[in-house]
Structure 1
Amino acid sequence: MTPHINYDLIKRFHFIELIVFWENRLTTKHIQHHFNISRSSASKYIQDYVKLYPKSLTYNNSKKGYQATNHFMPRYGEKDLGTYLSITQQGIQSEYYNHFTAMQSPLVPVNPKRVSGILHALKHKQRIDVGYASVSNPEFESRIISPHNLVFDGARWHVRAYCEKNRDFRDFVLTRFNGECEIEGPAEYDQQNDTLWQTQLVVSIEPDPRLTANKAKIIALDHQMHQQPNGHYKRNLKVRAALLLYLLKQLRVDSYQANPEAQQIILSPDCLANLQPYMP
């Protein structure tokens, strides 16, 4: 009997497709934990999906889970990485909104085949050998890394990881991996060992002092600044030291514009001095 497709089932089917698409292995535990339901109910949702699309999924005995076939095609919602992370980090209270639009990055989208190993390593805290290319070394080379967090800088996805080649924590752009991945055992370093990740900084922004008072007030409203006792506007933002440069780029204060209307905001002088040790 074909299941009746209602709102509740659409949510579960969307979740099933996200897990299959990004993790390449679906089990009843995924659905149980996310929707807080019994194992039998979770199993039924998978079977309902398989009945509707019998050629989309196949059970892999060695991996003890369902995987996508060549006929698999997501049908129930967005499948981008941001959606995957947003949905999988939510629980039974998660809802979908029909009147919400977010601009996607115009850069090359992340290929799931290239990063499934990275996601697996993150989830299971593993040390992996991966192929990575950079501007300084455009040929893919082996890197042994221990990833601990995914980061979206507003345009590109990165993974924060300990790199054994550099013997330090670095950011790796997800689109630069080649998809080849070998598990090297449990991760030897995690975010607790990442000094820049653990270091919290305060970024203080204020309207460009070259602006007129009326224009400065508008800029202050745009950036949710508060008026200080001296009449000036200011806002403090907290950021991890490892993510400082991404925030400065988003605020467009990583460079200085000759036109104050183009510049709009600046870092307060004291803040700029405090951030110098963390800037290139």
Structure 2
Amino acid sequence: MMQQSKKYYHVYNRKISHVYTPQFQRNSDIHTMAVVIEPGQWEKHDPFLGMAHDLMRSGVFAVHPHRGIETVTYMIDGILNHYDSKNGSGELHPGDAQWMTAGKGVEHVEDASPGELVNLLQLWVNIPAKYKMTPPRYQDLRKDKMPQKVENGVSTKVFSGSVNGLTAPTLNITPVTMVEFKMDAGSEVTPEIPGSHNGFLYILKGSGTFGSEQTHGKAGQVLWLGSGNNAEISNIQINSNGDMHVMLYTGEPIGEPVVARGPFVMNTEEEIIQAFIDYRNGTFLD
């Protein structure tokens, strides 16, 4: 019997390209926010459009529309009520996430439960032009339902994509990997990610070293991954100094023009104008 040959591939060890610390600003008595990813640097952050770290109480946001994007909300603390025009309402608890595909158009609102101080991350993900007008979709990603394992002092939970043998059932238009790591002091993990992906880490607690050059990072900092050097598979080494909680987000760049106005993200000015016309005319959600 002829033995089948195994497929071998080179794994490229990524470094950290740059590190920065988002600054929280007090918008009101009930809302403080840090901009984790600044909107407008579309090519640099592709496929990510922006990310906010919100601390808020009830009453910050009213019902509002979206078109042409996916929003990804991760709950750090508190209880969040959510409503959208396609899937009704529900609650998100600490450790849960939600993945909303706005597509052609959706109205929604996120609001802290009465008496709660909600601590959350919300990421906006771009989608390719040919899928901008896809039907809306909503997914609850419950913390106890996500693929996860604890090994060598590292708790790994995959909310989207595949990492180190764990694959999430989450449906994405743009390929995105989203992973939560909770690490004991002195532990390490080396997640493998597609070499073509762009991505970043956001440290929520603790400190450690990251990447092939052992770049230091601490709570509150964003660490952007260096290039995957066109490798099929790349990885990022993560070592914890103490107890550490860190989020990893990577995604496949789209490489298309971006035109964004408020809650709408399309490819041309004409498409943005049409979105506002549809919303005013009451045909947005048809």
What TM-score do the two structures reach when normalised by structure 1? Answer: 0.22
- Which structure's relative contact order is higher, taking Cα pairs within 8 Å and 6+ residues apart? 2
Question: Which structure has the greater CA radius of gyration?
Answer: 1
Q: Which has the higher helix share?
A: 1
Q: Which has the higher strand share?
A: 2
